[in-house]
Amino acid sequence: MTTNDELHQRATARIPGGVNSPIRAWGAVGGTPYFVERAEGARLWDVEGNEYLDLVQSYGAVIAGHAHPAIVAAVQEAATRGTSYGATTEGEVRIAEAICDRVSSVDKVRLVSSGTEATMSAIRLARGHTGRTKLVKFAGNYHGHGDALLAQSGSALAVFGLPDSVGVTPATVADTLVVPFNEVPTLDEDVAAVILEPVAANMGLVPPADGFLQALRDECDRVGALLIFDEVITGFRLACGGAQEVFGVEADLTTFGKVIGGGLNIGAFGGRGEVMDSMAPAGPVFQAGTLSGNPLATAAGLAALELLDDAAYDAIRHAATRLQGHLAQAFSGAGIDAHVGRVETLVGIHLGADAPATYDDAKTTDEAAFGRFFHEMLSRGVALAPGAYEVLFCGLAHTDDVVDSIGAAARDAAVAIG
C-alpha cells in the first residue's frame, strides 16, 4: 500500500516543500500531511484508507461538498465537448449573468483563473481607471499572492507596507499602505482603491465592527477612491449576494473565487459597467488569460451556483450554528479560553478569551494549543485546516449527523489538550 510518508518523501524530492501551496505542508501544526485518495460530500479518505470528516472543503471552494453529483455530471458533460478553446463560450456568458444577477453592485464581470488573479487585476483596474497610484489594505487580510498585496503592518499605525516575502521588492509595495482592520483610515486623493475582506477570514474569523463597512464606503466616496471587497471567501458563501448583501454596503469592485468554481480553477472580478469597461479591449487596462473562462470551470461553477438557493444557505447556516455551539461547549467544558465566532455560514476558532477585532488581537490565539487540537481532532477522524488562522467551512454535505460527530470529537479533543 502507498503510505502518506512514502508520498511525502517523493513529493519533497520533486516539489519544493512537497506541496503546491505552503499551508498544505503542515508547518504550523507539525506532522506528515495526509495525501488524499478521494472525497465525497463531507468525507475524505487518504491513501492509507483513513476516513476524515472534512472541514477544509478545499478552503471553501466546494460548498456543495466533495464530488457533488450535479457538479461531477456538469464537468463530465463539458469535458466531452473539449477542455479549452481560446474562444468564448455560452458557459462564460451564463456564469457572468449568474454572478451579476446575484450581486447587486456587479453589472459586468471578467473571469480569470484564481482569486489571486482576480485581486491583482482588480487593483490594476482601480489604478488604471482612477489614474491614481496608492492602494490601502488592512493588516491580516489576505488577497492572494500578487506582489503589491504581499504586505502587512505590525504596527497599529498606518505605515508604508514592508514586503511579506523575499522576492517582493520594497518598491513593489511602496504604494501599498497597510492599516489596522476595523479602523477607518483617513484617505487622500492619491488613493486609487481600498481593498478588504469585508469579513476577515484569513486571520481566524473577524467580523466587521458595527458601521465599519459603511464608514469606509463613505470615506472612499469622500476622496473618490474605489472600494474593493475581496469576496473570494465570502462571495456566494455568507449569502447569495455575499457580504455586501449581509451588511447592506456595496463595493465598487468585487473579487470572487473559491465557491464560484465549484472546485475548479476560477476567479472573477466585477463592478459597475462604467468601471469595468476600462478593461481591455473595451478600455485601456490590459489583462488576459489562455485558460480564462475555462469551459470545465464555468460548467462546475454554474452547477454550484444553481444549487445555492435560499434553502441551501439556510441549511449551511444551520450547520455552522450547530458546529459553533458544539465547539464552544467543547472548549468551555474543558476549561479552555476560546472564542468560537460565526458570521452567517463561516465559523472560526480563536484560542483566547476575547473575540478578536484586529490582526494584533487575532495573533494572540494560542497557536501551540491549536496544533495540539488539530492533531487530537485528526486522530478522531476530523480534518481541520492545518493552521490557527484558517476558518472552518461547512457546506451542503454537513448534515446534523456529520456536525454532531465532529462535536463529539471536539469534546474529547478539547479535554485531551486542556
Ligand X SMILES: *Cc1c(COP(=O)(O)O)cnc(C)c1O
Could you say which residues in the range 204-243 bind ligand X, by CB under 6 A? 230, 232-233
Binding of ligand X by 57 (CB under 6 A):
no
Catalytic residue among 34, 52, 59, 142: 142
Cell of 348: 472560526
Our CB check for ligand X shows the closer of 208 and 407 to be: 208
Q: Which amino acid is at 195?
A: I
**Stretch near ligand X under the rule CB under 6 A, chosen from 8-16, 49-57, 113-121, 330-338:** 113-121
Length of the chain counted residue by residue:
418
Instruction: Give the side-chain half-sphere CA count within 13 A for 237.
Output: 34
Binding of ligand X by 344 (CB under 6 A):
no
Q: Which residue has the CB atom at the shortest distance from ligand X?
A: 115
Q: Is 142 a catalytic residue?
A: yes
Binding of ligand X by 56 (CB under 6 A):
no
Distance between alpha carbon 410 and the CA centroid of its chain, in Å?
Answer: 24
Task: Quote the CA–CA distance of 75 and 22 in Å, as a whole number.
Answer: 28
Cα–Cα–Cα angle for 292, 297, 298, nearest 5°? 85
Our CB check for ligand X shows the closer of 115 and 301 to be: 115
Our CB check for ligand X shows the closer of 112 and 299 to be: 112
Residue 149: name the closest of 112, 186, 196, 108 by CA. Answer: 196
- Given candidates 138, 142, 373, 374, which one binds ligand X under the rule CB under 6 A? 142
Tell me the sheet residues that pair with 163.
151
Binding of ligand X by 115 (CB under 6 A):
yes
Q: How far is the CB of 118 from ligand X (least distance, A)?
A: 7
Q: Are 196 and 228 in contact (CB under 8 A)?
A: yes
- Given candidates 41, 161, 208, 257, which one binds ligand X under the rule CB under 6 A? 257
Question: Is it true that the peptide bond before 281 is cis, omega within 30 degrees of 0?
Answer: yes
Binding of ligand X by 137 (CB under 6 A):
no
Q: How far is the CB of 413 from ligand X (least distance, A)?
A: 26
Cα–Cα–Cα angle for 217, 244, 226, nearest 5°? 35
Q: How far is the CB of 116 from ligand X (least distance, A)?
A: 3
- Beta strand residue intervals within 204-266, DSSP E: 226-230, 253-256
Residues that bind ligand X (CB under 6 A): 114-116, 119, 142-144, 197, 202, 230, 232-233, 257, 267
Q: Which residues are catalytic?
A: 142, 230, 258
